[in-house]
Amino acid sequence: RQTARHTLRNERIESATRTAVRTATQTLKTSSTDVQKVLKGAQAALSKAASKGAIPAKRAARKTRRLVALARKLQPSAFKTAS
């Protein structure tokens, strides 16, 4: 019973995480909305999934790094720092 409950919980978390990452990727590729806000939502979903044990922490870190790299590539102006 416990395994069944954990499996259902993990499936819900993984699904929400995939949706957040997919939405962020599509948003980055199509529009120039607030990049930081889009990334923050996806990073939060990945971190939460990792902290709950639904996905491995290293997978969450890897996906986060790849999202940030994509954002920097597609919209570099969003990452300019004031010097």
Instruction: Note the pLDDT tens digit of each residue in 2-51.
Output: 999 999 999 999 999 999 999 999 988 887 677 888 889 999 999 999 99
Tell me how far CA of residue 55 lies from CA of 8, 25, 38, 68, in angstroms.
13, 19, 21, 19
Q: Which two tokens stand for residue 4?
A: 């069944």
- pTM for the predicted model, two decimal places: 0.84
What's the burial of 70, exposed, middle or buried (CB within 10 Å: 0-12/13-18/19+)? middle
